[in-house]
Structure 1
Amino acid sequence: MPELIDSFNRPIEYVRLSVTDRCDLRCNYCMPRDFHDFEDREHVLSFEEIERVMAAFGELGVKRIRLTGGEPLVRKGLPDLAARLAALPGIEDLSLSTNAVRLAKHAEALVRAGVSRINVSLDTLQPARFKAITNGRLDKVIDGLMAAKQSRFQPIKLNMVAMRGVNDDEFGDMVDFCLEHDFTLRLIETMPLGESGLDATDHYLDLQTVKQQLAERYDLVPGVMAGGGPAKYMQVVGTNMHIGFITPISQHFCESCNRVRLAADGTLYLCLGQEDKLELRPLLRGGISDAGLREAIVGAIARKPEKHEFREKPLQVVRFMSMTGG
């Protein structure tokens, strides 16, 4: 099978696929509370268009697809799309990122469709604090997590954005929660994307410091987990629990980047921290052939930037994370 190789000799095998830019929460590091400027529905790729693009990626050597948003579960019929993508030749791993608000309703259908792994955004275990961060209800997320556990997704990873002065007193509590339920915890540094309402610079927390703090409370050794993402893992000795650290600022992982992002409107973003992109929707609706589609993707990958510039140019990217795809 052919491989997508960028100009820095990095194989691209992973697509983060946004199926919608809409969300039923308003996390203050992602989207302003009063934001309603969502993509027109006619501009969002249909399931048929998504399947065609992902089939092209599969033919070019992509093995992993992660369904994202916005919140992917607000897209009607998502399990049907998941089943179609899981059946594509070359696709070996289909996963989902979700806020879990609607997961209790859809967990079983997603497993049957072929979604094997899920990541759930959860920044706090305190209901009032959860409301302040997301404008949502924590109990719905917990219900979704318990449904996912019952449905036997493996692994279930919790993504916690580490924010100084916001939730930096809860890392130990979150580790204990994950130990209790056999979840994996992944801590993520804040990134300067858009003007979402929370200043990523003011609340930035270097995860190297957090790792040292956790090592004083838990016996940690280096660990490894399967997956296509950038997390570096530690394992709690005597357990199966892993703690991942995603450090786009303090220790960026651009040299091993293996992914691109397809936004809900068909824009292929080549780097989260740059504006390099390819507009696929006009090509799809203009009658491009399958061979032409693959050629366009190959040409775009050749333009993938070497690295982001979050430190050097923190205001360079002004789009919200919900627009890019999580």
Structure 2
Amino acid sequence: MLKDTFGRKIDYIRVSVTKQCNFRCQYCMPNTPFDAFDKDEYIPLDNVLEFLKVAIDNGIKKIRITGGEPLLRKDLPDFIAALRNYSKEVQLVLTTNGFLLQKSAKILKESGLDRINISLDSLKPERIVQISKKDGLENVLAGIQEALKYNFGLKINTVVMKGINSDEILDLFDYAKHRNITIRFIEFMENIHANHNLLGLKEKEILEIIKTKYDFETAKDQIIGPAKLYSCKDGYQFGIIAPHNDDFCQTCNRIRLTADGIICPCLYYQDSVDAKEALLSKNPQKLQSVLEQAVYNKPEKNQWDTTMEADKISARAFYHTGG
């Protein structure tokens, strides 16, 4: 079992398999060229697999595969299948923008993937183009339908931005609710790679909008994770991810591995562990050592602050850490 110095059990790892993405979202990397990344710098997935075997042996119970856009990796199904072959119990989850999901859902299911989180920031085609620089809504919605067909556990992630999609909160809520998909509204997370003109809505503001149509209360049984859950009277649950809140980090059980071999103990904290040499070696003792060091380095709290000055905004790219 892995425990950090604050007594939190670490049983969840997010693994970025690529920095490449076919979207250029306003809150992530809107001005990054599409050919900006060198694939040769990525750790081979066979090496990542050996690290994750060590992590599973140390009590990791959930692995989320992220990017960039992970479905750009042609070898991803084989990687998932190898993880599933190693452990029947570990939860295998994917986060995707959904653009390639319709073509991938069947093989992902056959490979052993359990659940999928899909980014959906608008139900209007022109707004998806505005947000992501990609005419992708039709593909994303088709991907969601295909994933439902194969009975994946699904969640929708929506980053709420003032003046861009904040007027669609109820429409997106209804879209998810009518399909029995959990939706999670995410506060915009400031970083230097995002559009610097963006402003987000905070948890309280989002809840006030939902309250105009639905009665709900804080869910009695909260699942350990980034989202605070709320329950409607009919039992439907939704979540808010609010990293600016003081209690956001209290139950954090996560570390992150980047595609080029950096272990980030916290999304919004610059300290990290360079695990590239250990990963390339496949040496179990070295892999154990960098895993333990990352858990030891995990801070008590992230450094998000609603009053932060411009020069203190995170330089870490979410497409690098996997969000």
Q: Structures share a fold, TM > 0.5?
A: yes
C-alpha offsets along residues 164-214 of structure 1, whole Å, 9 cap, x if unaligned?
Answer: 1211111111111112222111000011122322444xx121111211221
Contact in 2 for aligned 1:4/1:13 (Cα 8 Å): yes
Matching of residue 243 in structure 1 with residue 242 in structure 2: no
What is the match of residue 297 of structure 2?
Answer: 303
Contact in 2 for aligned 1:159/1:188 (Cα 8 Å): yes
Which AA in structure 2 matches 1:283? A
The partner residue of 1:27 within 25, 28, 34 is 25
What is the match of residue 186 of structure 1?
Answer: 184
What is the match of residue 260 of structure 2?
Answer: 265
- 1:243 and 1:174 map into 2 onto residues whose CA distance is 11
**Alignment map for 1:112-151 (pairs within 5 Å):** 112-136=110-134, 137-151=136-150
Contact in 1 for aligned 2:278/2:286 (Cα 8 Å): no
Unpaired runs of 5+ residues, structure 1, are none
The partner residue of 1:276 within 271, 279, 296 is 271
**Alignment map for 1:1-326 (pairs within 5 Å):** 3-36=1-34, 38-89=36-87, 91-136=89-134, 137-154=136-153, 156-200=154-198, 203-223=199-219, 229-238=225-234, 240-285=235-280, 287=281, 289-311=283-305, 313=308, 315-326=312-323
Which AA in structure 2 matches 1:146? Q
- 2:221 and 2:65 map into 1 onto residues whose CA distance is 19
Contact in 1 for aligned 2:21/2:69 (Cα 8 Å): yes
Identity %: 34
- 1:53 and 1:256 map into 2 onto residues whose CA distance is 24
Give 3-state SS (helix, strand or coil) of 1:255's partner.
coil
Using structure 1 for the length normalisation, give the TM-score.
0.92
Deviates more, 1:32-41 or 1:19-28: 32-41
Unpaired runs of 5+ residues, structure 2, are none
- 1:157 and 1:247 map into 2 onto residues whose CA distance is 17
Contact in 2 for aligned 1:178/1:241 (Cα 8 Å): no
Which AA in structure 2 matches 1:108? K
- 2:221 and 2:151 map into 1 onto residues whose CA distance is 17
Which AA in structure 1 matches 2:181? F
In the TM superposition, residue 17 of structure 1 has moved relative to its aligned partner by 0.6
Give 3-state SS (helix, strand or coil) of 2:299's partner.
coil
In the TM superposition, residue 316 of structure 1 has moved relative to its aligned partner by 4.2
Using structure 2 for the length normalisation, give the TM-score.
0.93
- 2:33 and 2:113 map into 1 onto residues whose CA distance is 30
- Matched residues, number: 319
In the TM superposition, residue 319 of structure 1 has moved relative to its aligned partner by 2.4
Which AA in structure 2 matches 1:325? G
Contact in 2 for aligned 1:59/1:89 (Cα 8 Å): no
Q: Which runs of 4+ in 1 moved over 6 A?
A: none
- 1:91 and 1:244 map into 2 onto residues whose CA distance is 25
Give 3-state SS (helix, strand or coil) of 2:140's partner.
helix
In the TM superposition, residue 36 of structure 1 has moved relative to its aligned partner by 4.3
C-alpha offsets along residues 60-105 of structure 1, whole Å, 9 cap, x if unaligned?
Answer: 1111000100000001121111111122248521111000000000
Which AA in structure 1 matches 2:162? R
In the TM superposition, residue 295 of structure 1 has moved relative to its aligned partner by 2.1
Which AA in structure 1 matches 2:229? Y
Deviates more, 1:242-251 or 1:58-67: 242-251
In the TM superposition, residue 227 of structure 1 has moved relative to its aligned partner by 5.8
Give 3-state SS (helix, strand or coil) of 2:31's partner.
coil
In the TM superposition, residue 229 of structure 1 has moved relative to its aligned partner by 2.4
C-alpha offsets along residues 273-293 of structure 1, whole Å, 9 cap, x if unaligned?
Answer: 1111111112233x3620231
